[in-house]
């Protein structure tokens, strides 16, 4: 709220995500600031009024929706860090000891940590080489547009860093041969819509 008082954000709803897509530009820095969608997108505001909803969005709700969108789009984990049981539940893999350096340099060794979308479209022949316990998520190598990830080695090859070019400011790290991995986002909260023209 003010760098001294902190509170948890409520989970994002589908309605909040749809409204946040209409709002463009940078954040104001005030959680109570209200965006009037009538000024931003008259068509979207008219649809909301017809559905009996207020065409106004608070910055706090936009922040919640943006965080959710970033997590869904570029929240990633190394291959094997999580396993899927035969009953369908997903658990942290206690036997995961990190990727080898050779594997850590490949984009195919990292998965989106969200409900898979592309995996369902694969043919049986493509699925034949996949291990259902570890390869149950979408791989980064099939992301559209191609080239939306940058892989670099830091500290003399002891840390692998992936940076998203779609959400500028997102950095994922993994220390090969260890369980250490994670990601952090320091950005403006704006998706890089010009990426297809930059590649």
Shortest CA distance to 191 belongs to which of 165, 156, 173? 165
CA gap 161, 105 in Å, rounded: 9
Cα separations (Å) of 188 from 23, 26, 109, 142? 13, 6, 28, 26
pLDDT at 179 over 80: yes
Q: What is the mean pLDDT of residues 14-19?
A: 83
| pLDDT of 49 over the 60 cut | no
Prediction pTM value: 0.77
Query: Which segment of 122-131, 176-185, 186-195 scores lowest on mean pLDDT?
Result: 122-131
Does residue 34 register a pLDDT over 80? yes
115 vs 45, which has greater pLDDT?
Answer: 115
pLDDT average, residue stretch 133-137: 74
Report pLDDT for 14.
Answer: 85
Picking from 69-73, 120-124, 195-199, which range would have the lowest pLDDT averaged per residue?
A: 120-124
Confidence of residue 182 (pLDDT cuts 50, 70, 90): very high
**184 pLDDT exceeds 90?**
yes
Higher-pLDDT residue of 136, 161: 161
Q: Strands (DSSP E) along 31-129, which ranges?
A: 34-36, 56-58, 76-78, 82-84, 90-92, 110-112
Q: What percent of the chain has pLDDT over 90?
A: 10
CB-neighbour burial class of residue 105 (10 A; exposed 0-12, middle 13-18, buried 19+): middle
């Amino acid at each position: 709220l003010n760098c001294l008082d902190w509170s948890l954000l409520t989970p994002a709803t589908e309605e909040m995500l749809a409204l946040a897509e209409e709002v463009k530009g940078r954040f104001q820095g005030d959680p109570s600031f209200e965006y009037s969608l009538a000024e931003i997108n008259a068509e979207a505001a008219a649809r909301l009024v017809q559905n009996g909803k207020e065409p106004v969005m608070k910055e706090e709700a936009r922040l919640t929706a943006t965080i959710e969108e970033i997590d869904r789009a570029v929240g990633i984990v190394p291959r094997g860090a999580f396993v899927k049981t035969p009953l369908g539940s997903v658990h942290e893999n206690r036997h995961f000891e990190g990727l080898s350096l050779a594997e850590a340099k490949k984009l195919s060794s990292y998965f989106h940590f969200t409900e898979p979308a592309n995996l369902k479209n694969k043919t049986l022949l493509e699925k034949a080489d996949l291990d259902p316990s570890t390869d149950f998520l979408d791989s980064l190598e099939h992301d559209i547009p191609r080239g939306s990830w940058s892989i670099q080695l830091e500290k003399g090859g002891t840390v692998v860093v992936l940076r998203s070019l779609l959400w500028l400011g997102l950095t994922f790290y993994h220390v090969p041969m260890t369980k250490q991995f994670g990601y952090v986002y320091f950005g403006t909260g704006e998706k890089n819509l010009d990426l297809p023209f930059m590649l």
